[in-house]
Amino acid sequence: MTTFQQAPITSKIIRNMDEEKLKHLFGKRVRNIRKNRKLTQEQLAELIGMDTHHLCKMENGSHFPKIKNLAKMVEVLNINIKELFTFEEHKTEDEQIKDNININLQKLNAKELSIVSSFIDSIIELRN
């Protein structure tokens, strides 16, 4: 079994994880992000410029994307690459809630974002 101990990723969780487990968690993460963006496999594959079959294999945990596809995926999904390697079962409840909020914020227009921002400011003000 291969490990990613030589990989330039600083997370202890990922460094000590075996390759099969990492591929499985990565694929699951890609699937969750894709579904949260309301994209089909076909749509995401087309946007990335990869074959749907390869995206399916990646989401099922049997393949990693090529570096160029990984970079394009990050661009298309408008996320930081770190988000692809932040696995739910290793997140705190606060991190999971923040992720969900961030995903939902991306669905709002400028006026709605302004309302949410004012609401958050009010909550913070009440705490102080």
CA distance readout (Å), 33 to 18, 37, 60, 124, 128: 23, 6, 14, 29, 35
Task: Provide φ and ψ at 37, rounded to 5°.
Answer: -85, 5
Contact 36, 42 (CB under 8 A): no
- pLDDT in 10s for each residue of the chain, 128 residues: 333 333 343 344 555 567 888 898 899 999 999 998 999 999 999 999 999 999 999 999 999 888 999 999 999 998 988 888 877 666 677 877 888 898 889 899 999 999 999 999 999 999 87
